[in-house]
Amino acid sequence: MSFSRRDFLKTSGVLLGALPFARAIPASAAPRDTMVAVISQTINSLDLHRVGTNRASYQIAVNCYDRLLTFGSKTLPSGELSYDYNKLEPELAESWTVSEDGKVLTFKLKKNAVFFDGTPVTAHDVKWSFDRSVSVGGFPTTQMKAGGFERPDQFKALDDETFQITLDRPSKLALPDLAVPVPFVINSKLAKQHATAEDPWATEYLHKNTIGSGAYKVARWDNGQQVVLERNDKWVGGPLPAVRRVIVREVPSAATSRALIERGDVQVAFEIPDKDAAELASKLKVYSTPIENCLHVLCLNTKFEPFRDDNVRKAVAYAVPYEAIFKTAAFERGAPMWGGTGTVDSIAWPQKSPYDTNLEKAKELLAKSGFPNGFETTLSIATDLSAWMEPTALLIQEALAKIGIKTTIEKIPGANWRTASLVEKRLPLHLENFGGWLNTPDYYFFWAYQAGHLFNSSNYDNPEVNKLVDETLHMSMDDPEYAPKIRRVIEIIFNEIPRIPLWQPALNVALNGAEGYEFWFHRQLDLRTMKLTEG
């Protein structure tokens, strides 16, 4: 008799948590309602605000907590579903108003919203949660600052249902920044019961417990193995999710994940390598969505002599074998970012750079530079990102050798990579990736091109770019001055080319027995739209 676990899951609908005495879930005739998703990283905390919480853990904030606002969805030209940066929708807030001067944001909360324990969600909970995110320090505080939220005195609970934010200056980033995973709303009464003098924000308690009002609650968390989520039937943040129970299992080996999804023992394989995505595309439903506002780039550090020379940077940009890299390293997942027209007529970002592989031109430019006979340098890559960095680096090394630039490839271990590349910015030539959560070009330029900022690992410092980014960062995108200023920045950074765009990477997700996948800028699996399918 053949009785695979797939059939078993199809027919079993009994909850693990509801059956503390059962050792195994008995097969019953209930409809299939459990979805299994595999991820390659580990979820190391249930609290996004904690110091040390990794990226995979953000999915808990997404699925188990609510924010005031969320983004709507749109269908991409490829037919894939994606969140829509330009469409803000209510989640916990029923409605909101923005004052004439754009500085005061007032939110009315949904009256029927309750936390998991049944207590109503009030503006005081929102206030406490926002205070927490701007006070704990580290990543949440930095992300809040991007929207102009810096101090607790900016947040006020006018009454139980009305919450008000006062900004120091109007900003187009303020409202979207309320829909990112960070400003989630916590049950403050329960949290305060677990707060101590040393730990006023109850980080110890929230690390292991979810006390929100979101679509799912954590039924079980086996650290390093799995998280089991159950639907919260009282959720009012949106339409009730179709899947009642989700098991998120951690499988570090890509080959194992692939075997599991192909066999159909799991329904979702999240963030699979480009190679597997390309090979599975003919067999299963595979989504490869180019990640918004995100680029894989080759950085030329302008602190180092050869790369201070405009002609050297351009020569490198013309020597890079873009096509071969896109085929070998990205397996053609994502979007090409080379061979543009040369005139900047849109403010879309990322957009194709004017460079293409042209060795003659590269040699010509190098001959004109201060280094006509070439030079030697190191090309640095991170060991834990070697999946895309290693093939890319090898191809670049080979191409640069043709124009007389000798490179040695240096692999830097994961723990040291961020320090060397981003903090100390001491790598002359290296590969880098940055993606901005807030999808505006100025936000990308702020982190990656403005002097002194973390992802500006090229040490690029152009007074005009610095000034234009400062001016556009909070400016409304409808402002008539906005587009010309952004176009000017793009012209400058393409001309001076301190970061050479290689391609826009994709987020790959394979489904087998599930549908409803939607791409989100935070690159986490949003379970709320997922559905199970027969077969």
Nearer to another protein, 12 or 213 (CB): 12
Residue 256: helix, strand or coil by DSSP? helix
According to the binding rule CB under 8 A, does residue 31 interact with another protein?
no
According to the binding rule CB under 8 A, does residue 207 interact with another protein?
yes
- Mark 401-440 with x for binding to another protein (rule: CB under 8 A) and - for no binding: ------------xxxx-xxx-xx-----------------
Nearer to another protein, 191 or 399 (CB): 191
According to the binding rule CB under 8 A, does residue 370 interact with another protein?
no
According to the binding rule CB under 8 A, does residue 53 interact with another protein?
yes
Contact 469, 475 (CB under 8 A): no
- Mark 309-348 with x for binding to another protein (rule: CB under 8 A) and - for no binding: ----------------------------------------
According to the binding rule CB under 8 A, does residue 225 interact with another protein?
yes
The alpha carbons of the chain give a radius of gyration, in whole angstroms, of: 25
Q: Could you say which of 75, 159, 193, 252 contacts another protein (CB under 8 A)?
A: 252
According to the binding rule CB under 8 A, does residue 380 interact with another protein?
no
Nearer to another protein, 50 or 352 (CB): 50
Amino acid making up residue 466: N
- Give how many residues touch another protein by CB under 8 A: 61
Q: Could you say which of 60, 178, 218, 251 contacts another protein (CB under 8 A)?
A: 251
Q: Could you say which of 36, 105, 185, 514 contacts another protein (CB under 8 A)?
A: 36
Q: Work out whether strand 429-435 and strand 405-412 pair parallel, antiparallel, or are unpaired.
A: unpaired
Contact 186, 121 (CB under 8 A): no
Partners of residue 36 on adjacent β-strands: 247
Of the listed pieces 3-11, 74-82, 84-92, 229-237, which binds another protein according to CB under 8 A? 3-11
CB 454: neighbour CB atoms within 10 A? 14
According to the binding rule CB under 8 A, does residue 197 interact with another protein?
no
Partners of residue 97 on adjacent β-strands: 106
Contact 321, 403 (CB under 8 A): no
Q: How far is the CB of 207 from another protein (least distance, A)?
A: 5
Give the length of the chain: 535
Sheet with 499-504, side-by-side order of all strands: 335-336, 499-504, 294-300, 429-435, 375-382, 405-412
CA distance 532 to 520: 20
According to the binding rule CB under 8 A, does residue 226 interact with another protein?
yes
- Contacts of another protein in 458-517 (CB under 8 A): none
According to the binding rule CB under 8 A, does residue 191 interact with another protein?
no
According to the binding rule CB under 8 A, does residue 249 interact with another protein?
yes
CA distance 321 to 68: 46
CA distance 350 to 190: 44
According to the binding rule CB under 8 A, does residue 265 interact with another protein?
yes
Task: Name the packing angle between helices 123-135 and 138-146 (round to 10°).
Answer: 110
Task: Identify the burial level of 343 via C-beta atoms within 10 angstroms of its C-beta, where 0-12 means exposed, 13-18 middle and 19 or more buried.
Answer: exposed
Q: How far is the CB of 123 from another protein (least distance, A)?
A: 28
CA distance 151 to 162: 19
Task: Identify the burial level of 424 via C-beta atoms within 10 angstroms of its C-beta, where 0-12 means exposed, 13-18 middle and 19 or more buried.
Answer: exposed
According to the binding rule CB under 8 A, does residue 112 interact with another protein?
no
Interface with another protein (CB under 8 A): 4-5, 8-9, 12, 16, 22-25, 36, 42, 44-45, 50-55, 137-139, 141-143, 146, 207, 222-226, 228, 247, 249-253, 255-256, 259-260, 262-263, 265-266, 384, 413-416, 418-420, 422-423, 447, 453-454
